[in-house]
Structure 1
Amino acid sequence: MWSLSVTVLLTLQRSVWSAYPFTFSERECRDLFPERIGKDSLTAGSNDHHDEPFTIEPSETIHGFNFGSTQVLVKANSKWRIQGIIMQARIVGNCKNPKQQHPVGHFEVSENHKFLRAANCSGNPFKTVTHRKYPINTDSIVIRWFPPEDVKAEVYFVATIVSGKNDFWTGIVSHTIRHKDKPFTPGHPQCPMRSKYTTSATPRPSPQGSTGKILHPNILLICTLLTAILWTMYHN
């Protein structure tokens, strides 16, 4: 009985923390902000966009030709490495329009992909990708993406990348990919992403202490094991 309880608890613990720090809540699927970390992103304090720590580089600049796929390269450009990621493709449009906050197209995520897996967002998991385990500790990721057949708008990729236990970057965007029948939109049409931590933005609070900081996973594991021990002793 005790052995079974420990096995189940450890399995659940690994499952929860393999996705750290993302919960894939409805809000998080819109703003790609890992509120579980409990702090602002590093993007919030940076105004220099000439030396980005990470870049997203699609292989194409135009879509709509026989609905072919686009190869997407995510790479680190500095000391920061990719430990965790959540990424989507979105259309260019009015940033206040709720439709702009939903992913489009789908990623080709094989079961044996070294770094990525489908994320449970938007009712279609292949529209969003995240890390297969945490941390993945790599400086580059490549994945294929297929544009939607019914969208003729410009699209771009946007990601949040976790580069340390409490360090992450939001609003990492690629260049836009226009549809073959549409001209480019002038300026910088990619919508800004949330970079500030606010406790009121979380509809379903994650396990936190009174200070608003996330509890370390080892503390959560110890509490869970102690509860299991007491439960076993009581029922024996």
Structure 2
Amino acid sequence: MAQWNLCLLFGSTVLCTMLIPCGAFPTGAPASACENMLPVHTGIQPQQTLAPYEFLVSSPSFLNGQPINIQILGPTYRGLLLEARSFGSTTALGFWKSPPNNTKFLQCSGNPYGAVTHSNTNLKTRQTAYTWLPPNSGCPSVVTFVATVAWSHEIYWTNVKSKVIWKNPKATCGAETPTRILPAAALLSLLLILFGHI
């Protein structure tokens, strides 16, 4: 009888281990996924087909201090890792505001509000809206929103991108250095003219 109970316990453990996804993160992406945006789904590769998701972005340009709203259009999804990036960079830019239900912040690039990920595997829909704020300084000329979207543990797409949004000409983030240099250069030219060197 004791051997039967031991076999039953061992068999139950093996069955549960096979049914529970190993190496998955149902409560959100780990910080190690920030750069390559690949979920740790052991033995499961991303889909090679075109993603059925696209972004709806509230503005074609960004201005520091002005929020941008983003929605992911397409089928419902369970998992997510969402960042804003400049062209050719893996650094998470700007700050996400209060994440919607079933999502949370993920610290990426040293920024505690640099990314948003799922907090559970509840369904998220196209009505789920994410709000992003541009950085206060060091703004690039263009920004793209990049995501990994998981329909299920086995089916997910990486490198889902929005169209680029441009830095608004009125944006002051990143413009501080040129405005300090310009008056100094103008002053030097004026002095040279006054002393007859030009």
When normalised by structure 2's length, the TM-score is: 0.66
CA distance in 2: counterparts of 1:105 and 1:35, whole angstroms: 25
After TM superposition, give the deviation of residue 122 of structure 1 in Å. 2.1
| 2:116 equivalent to 1:129 | yes
* Amino acid in the other structure paired with 1:105: G
8 Å contact from structure 1 (residues 57, 74) kept in 2: yes
After TM superposition, give the deviation of residue 17 of structure 1 in Å. 4.7
After TM superposition, give the deviation of residue 23 of structure 1 in Å. 2.3
CA distance in 1: counterparts of 2:112 and 2:55, whole angstroms: 20
8 Å contact from structure 1 (residues 156, 175) kept in 2: yes
CA distance in 1: counterparts of 2:142 and 2:68, whole angstroms: 14
CA distance in 1: counterparts of 2:153 and 2:117, whole angstroms: 16
* Unaligned segments of structure 1, at least 5 residues: 1-15, 183-236
Question: Which one has the bigger helix percentage?
Answer: 1
CA distance in 2: counterparts of 1:89 and 1:29, whole angstroms: 11
1:27-176 alignment, distance < 5 Å: 28-42=33-47, 44=48, 46=49, 48=50, 52-64=51-63, 67-76=65-74, 80-92=75-87, 95=88, 100-109=89-98, 113-133=100-120, 135-140=121-126, 141-150=128-137, 151-176=139-164
CA distance in 1: counterparts of 2:107 and 2:42, whole angstroms: 19
Q: Once the two structures are aligned, what percentage of the paired residues are identical? A: 22
After TM superposition, give the deviation of residue 74 of structure 1 in Å. 1.3
8 Å contact from structure 1 (residues 106, 147) kept in 2: yes
1:196-211 alignment, distance < 5 Å: none
8 Å contact from structure 1 (residues 109, 116) kept in 2: no
8 Å contact from structure 1 (residues 152, 181) kept in 2: no
Structure 1 residues 127-148: Cα deviation after superposition (integer angstroms, max 9, x where no partner): 1000121x12122220110011
CA distance in 2: counterparts of 1:61 and 1:180, whole angstroms: 9
CA distance in 1: counterparts of 2:119 and 2:104, whole angstroms: 5
When normalised by structure 1's length, the TM-score is: 0.56
8 Å contact from structure 2 (residues 41, 153) kept in 1: no
Give the root-mean-square deviation of aligned CA atoms: 2.1
Tell me which stretches of 4 or more aligned residues in structure 1 moved more than 4 Å: none
Distance 1:162 1:106, change over 3 A: same
Structure 1 residues 108-131: Cα deviation after superposition (integer angstroms, max 9, x where no partner): 025xx3122101322212110001
8 Å contact from structure 1 (residues 161, 170) kept in 2: yes
Q: From the CA coordinates, give the structure whose radius of gyration is larger.
A: 2
* Unaligned segments of structure 2, at least 5 residues: 1-23, 171-198
8 Å contact from structure 1 (residues 90, 101) kept in 2: yes
For the residue of structure 2 that corresponds to 1:103, the secondary structure is coil
